[in-house]
Amino acid sequence: MTKANNGPGLLSLALEMVYSNAPRWLATIAVLFFLISAMMICFFVFSSVVDSQYYYTHLEKAIKEGNVQRIELSLDALMVIEPDDPMIRFRFALLMEAQKRFAESVAILEGLAPLEDDSLGFDHAHMLLAKRLLLDPTKDPVKRAKAIKHLAKAISGNPKNLEARADLAEVFLDNNQWNEAQPFVVAVVSLRPELCVRLARGLVSTQKQKVLDLLKLAESPLRSKLKQYPDNEELIRAVADISNLQGKHQEAADLLSVAFQSKPSEILRSELGTTLALQMATALNKPDPDFGAYLALVSKGLLVDPSNPLILLRMEEGLRLGVDTNNAINARLEELLSKGTVPDMVHLLLGTEAHRKGRTDLARLHFDLAYQANPKLPEACNNLAWYLSNESPRDLKRGLEISAQAVTMNPGNPHFRETRGQIHLLLGQWKEAITDLEFALTNLGPTPSIHQSLATAYKKMGDSKLAAIHQGQADKQKNLNLPVAPRVKRPGT
């Protein structure tokens, strides 16, 4: 009997031997040879899987033990057995880096995470390269753009990679790109609910409804996460931020106070101080101000964070409102000064209080000392310049120089521009005076002293019509007091 030709191969040869007239012993040898060969092929096919599993097991064990030598041996074997496995190559790159073989490590990572072609690459490699680019201290925009591209490819290659989405959200948040950050922040709320709070802080002055939506989205997972990790400082601050943004300042203060007592870090100190300052503002801004609560918060705030600018600003507001009837705030300021705590701000506040009480000599002294302590404090520059030009002995030249410093540091502050404009007027520099005073008028609204000064300047410049208009405006407001040294206020507060 003859079978059709089944093509070349061991099986065909064995069958030919069986069905042909070949001797039985020869056919038996052919079949046995085929079976042995098949077994060997199966062994070689499946042995690599067994070897891979063996070395994977040993690799994980070595990583847990921190055994670098065994890690290296396992990875070397896996690179031979499965050279195209991206996770093995990624871990091998990490090993190269640990051994300070940086060029080899970078070459492997860039091969796994290419940017120039259409391939998506390996998401873990993209994420690592992005993080390295973002650590650049120069904040190079080209590197930042490459990092964003790496993270975008990581997400495209693995849409379930929430860590890559969270990293990209942080990149946008760090650069105040609120709209770009929003979809990624929302996508990772279960993993990183604190990012919702960061975004809410960025939008609080422009999109109040969006802020409320974000807080509602983040609050439950954030509080659950805090229960799991009650000592996590970032989570504590994020939950406190939610309470503050919702106007629940006491709740935020209680949470931060407990955390600060347990772990008195500088970040928690600052957060607690800022929360106490918010409570101080609430006490002062009530229809019937709660001065007792305010003074108690002042004492607590100065104990926690005496150099916090918001606490000092709230103290200035209290002084301006006449809250300090028994000189308690003044005494605390003098105590801070005796300890050398933020002398520039303390002198500034003491000068403001002295000015309010009509003690011009003492006010001038404190403003001068504030300027000497910190010539880069624009409020100190402005208030000292005002005194140098308005109180005896006058020094208009020095007053103009110091006023110009304040304007240079904060050119958009209308109080500073008014001070410089009035000094220009006293020096007979009419055109310069008009420029500064009109800027101040636009931003501060009708003020008799500004109208009066503009009337003088325009009259000296020969424009009698505009001079008459400003004089008329000044006369209408003659019952208002002339301005005093501008209140202490930091930009943005």
Q: Where are the domains of the chain?
A: 161-246, 249-341, 369-493
As a whole number of Å, the CA-based R_g of the chain is 37
Residue predicted with more confidence, 441 or 50: 441
| pLDDT band of 81, cuts 50, 70, 90 | low
Fold type of domain 369-493: 1.25.40
Averaged pLDDT, 66-90: 70
Both tokens of residue 72? 């290296």
Averaged pLDDT, 13-31: 53
Residue predicted with more confidence, 12 or 432: 432
Averaged pLDDT, 50-59: 64
Residue predicted with more confidence, 174 or 34: 174
Amino acid identity, position 389: S
Residue 429: per-residue pLDDT: 96
Distance CA 65, CA 59 (A): 10
Averaged pLDDT, 28-52: 51
382 pLDDT more than 80: yes
Query: Is 64 exposed, middle or buried, given 0-12, 13-18 or 19+ CB atoms closer than 10 A?
Result: exposed
Q: What CATH architecture is 161-246?
A: Alpha Horseshoe (1.25)
Residue 98: per-residue pLDDT: 75
> What are the pLDDT digits (tens) for 225-237?
999 999 999 899 9
Averaged pLDDT, 407-412: 92
E strand or H helix that includes residue 180: helix 178-187
| Mean pLDDT, the chain, whole residue set | 81
Preceding omega of 393 cis (within 30 degrees of 0): yes
Spatial contact of 350 and 334, defined as CB atoms under 8 Å apart? yes
Domains 161-246 and 369-493 share a fold: yes
Task: Give Cα separations from 254 to 216, 239, 258, 279 (angstroms).
Answer: 21, 11, 6, 12
483 pLDDT more than 80: no
CA end-to-end distance (rounded Å), the chain = 103
* Range of lowest pLDDT (39-48, 207-216, 328-337, 372-381): 39-48
Give Cβ neighbours of residue 308 (< 8 Å, ≥ 6 apart). 270, 273, 274, 277, 301
